[in-house]
Structure 1
Amino acid sequence: MLLLVPSIGLAQAIGGPLTPLPAVPALAPERVELGRKLFNDPRLSSNASLACASCHRLDQGGADGQVRSLGVDGKPLPVNTPSVFNASLNFRQFWDGRAQTLEEQAHLVVQRPGEMGSDWQVVVQRIAADPSYRAGFAKAYGKAVDEHTLQDALATFQRTLLTPDSRFDRYLQGDTEILSKDEKYGYARFQEYGCIACHQGVNIGGNMLQKFGVLGDFFADRGNPTPADLGRFNVTGDEEDRHVFKVPSLRNVAVTAPYFHDGSAPTLEAAVDVMFRYQLGRTPSTDDKALIIQFLKTLTGEWEGKPL
């Protein structure tokens, strides 16, 4: 497992260079619209109090701005809610990488106690009892509502939640004047300090697992450990996976505070400080830190033609 590789060349060999987001895929419109409707439907939760959109607010960067969202029982979830935007480009889903597909993610979220807390038999019955859904699924899938088609519709909608046309994407596409001089310097510092070793590829992250606290014990310094802090260890039981998490995408990072699996960094400035201390073991100059933050703000894209 890669721990820290501040070499730009090796980072690119592992995950590929930074590339622009692809265009929003042209998927079956009937299935997309079914997925959109389901994404906003609280009947997927046990007590019909929560929809996917309750925590993944598309008007708030695809997250909800909370340290930890509240589950169906009104209690905080174990981890911070990541953005749903561009999630289809991640190599795994969830902070601990326990799901490999969006369909599997939906399957786990709906039935997990404390999250949506339901079960698929109940959900299928509720959705199938709605005449408009029955007609929609018959048209889109040529069959009745079932667990598979529900998950497929949700995943199909989520695959349209891409946010292209960030200023940085346009820069990568050849519009070299769209970034200011300081933003370009920030991109250079992002590479030189080694941030790009883990935050690379089309999603500028989201394509590897990494230990949180490579060059310092973040959890001892933060205090109050929780089971969720064990990260991927909770999935595999492998000691090497203790405190290992999926590297988050940096796309739209300026509008998705707070940061990290525990939501412990309230601002982008605080998150950058943590990364330098615990992942890079370096102290940037004040100017370099400011430049990197300016660069990160160029990663905010658009959804349905509007800036996030």
Structure 2
Amino acid sequence: MAIGVAAAGFFLLCFVALIPWLPTAFGQAAQDAGEPIAPLQPSEATDAAKVSLGEILFHDARLSGAGTVACASCHDLDAGGDDGLERPAGADGKPLDFNAPTIFNVSRNFRLNWRGEFRRIEEQNEAALLDPNLMGANWNELLPKLQGDAGYVRRFAAAYDSAPTRDSVLDALASFQRSLITVDARFDRHLTGEKGVLTSGELRGYELFKEYGCIACHQGANVGGNLFQRFGIFADPFADRASEDDSDLGRFTVTGLEQDRHVFRVPSLRNVALTAPYFHDGRTASLEEAIGIMARTQLGRQLPRDDVAAIARFLNTLTGEYRRQGPGEAPKP
């Protein structure tokens, strides 16, 4: 099936935007195989003491000012690494601006959050901890809590040879989050040469994914997460709204540049079958509907129902595995 003229132009637009990220996005193995998607490699987080400490912190509600929410409250590791809500509730009980993105494979994104305002996990973690609408913590209160806990004192001493500090707390959290890589997706096994791991319908979905041009923005090892793009190239996704709110403006609220209006970080499609609802505002819980929205707004295409279903079958093969020690409740300090 040939890509339409509009979709081909969009592919070129995305490809030019992607050029600075080609070396890290694709990986040598994918280039050698001629595929635009590369298998995920295992975590680069190798310090077991720091990863273990970070996991405990990630699940500890004492990191929030009110002691009621933890990082895991919005990023459930027993599900898709998000909270399954359109938008999580803030400290005041009102919905926050954005759908909670998955924490899985977060270290493989070139920027963090929907607007991409953060480059480093530590930077994003601190912003979430101190934001009064998110966790509402402050270091003057948080550090004494941790320093007064014998279990934490012991673990920080083992991992950092010191009492808990701002830098070590942020480093431990980031070390754990860098370990959250979901390897061994069926599609990765297919890429590495395993025969018969995908059905003919799933393979057909992948071919359509490439032929329609979806691959332009969703490629590399993380199947996205490596460039910015405007939401609404060929159709206005906000046309049915009386007015837009700040979250719809995308990176415009960060840069103030008109060309950044409605521009967002392209999300990874890893584990996408588990991370509904979709888009920055959680507008749909249907993967098939999300595919249709993307086809209309980004490619200028109305896809046949059978093609949508085939692409959804392919996307289901991107679900990987995260093998936690002792799944369920996190260990206590």
| TM-score scaled by length of structure 1 | 0.94
Q: Is the 2:206–2:311 contact (alpha carbons within 8 Å) kept by the matching residues of 1? A: yes
Q: Does 1:153 align with 2:158?
A: no
> 3-state DSSP class of the match of 2:248?
helix
How many angstroms apart in 1 are the aligned matches of 2:194 and 2:49? 36
Which residue matches 2:187?
A: 168
* 1:219 shift after superposition: 1.3
Amino acid at match of 1:264: R
Listed as ranges, the matches of 1:20-31 within 5 Å are 20-31=39-50
Which residue matches 2:155?
A: 136
How many angstroms apart in 1 are the aligned matches of 2:153 and 2:237? 50
When residues 291 and 8 of structure 1 are mapped into structure 2, their CA distance, relative to the original with a 3 A threshold, is farther
Which residue matches 1:280?
A: 299
> 3-state DSSP class of the match of 1:210?
strand
How many angstroms apart in 2 are the aligned matches of 1:107 and 1:233? 22
How many angstroms apart in 1 are the aligned matches of 2:12 and 2:93? 45
How many angstroms apart in 2 are the aligned matches of 1:139 and 1:200? 40
Which residue matches 2:244?
A: 225
1:264 to 258, 265, 283: 283
How many angstroms apart in 2 are the aligned matches of 1:110 and 1:196? 35
> 3-state DSSP class of the match of 1:36?
helix
Residues 241-262 of structure 1 show CA distances to partners (whole Å, capped at 9, x for unaligned) of 1111100000000011000000
2:268 to 249, 271, 276: 249
Which residue matches 2:322?
A: 303
Which residue matches 2:11?
A: 6
* 1:270 shift after superposition: 1.2
How many angstroms apart in 1 are the aligned matches of 2:147 and 2:190? 47
Which residue matches 1:85?
A: 104
Q: Is the 2:45–2:51 contact (alpha carbons within 8 Å) kept by the matching residues of 1? A: no
* 1:7 shift after superposition: 5.2
> 3-state DSSP class of the match of 2:10?
coil
> 3-state DSSP class of the match of 1:54?
helix
Which residue matches 2:330?
A: none
How many angstroms apart in 2 are the aligned matches of 1:243 and 1:9? 15
How many residue pairs match? The answer is: 305
How many angstroms apart in 2 are the aligned matches of 1:63 and 1:4? 33
* 1:54 shift after superposition: 0.5
When residues 107 and 220 of structure 1 are mapped into structure 2, their CA distance, relative to the original with a 3 A threshold, is same
Q: Is the 2:62–2:70 contact (alpha carbons within 8 Å) kept by the matching residues of 1? A: yes
Once the two structures are overlaid, the 10-residue window that deviates more, 101-110 or 19-28, is: 19-28
Q: Does 1:39 align with 2:58?
A: yes
How many angstroms apart in 2 are the aligned matches of 1:99 and 1:293? 30
* 1:90 shift after superposition: 0.4
Q: Is the 1:204–1:249 contact (alpha carbons within 8 Å) kept by the matching residues of 2? A: yes
> 3-state DSSP class of the match of 2:240?
helix
How many angstroms apart in 1 are the aligned matches of 2:82 and 2:201? 29
* 1:263 shift after superposition: 0.2
Identity %: 49
Aligned-pair Cα RMSD in Å: 2.1
Amino acid at match of 1:220: A
* 1:70 shift after superposition: 1.4
Q: Does 1:112 align with 2:117?
A: no
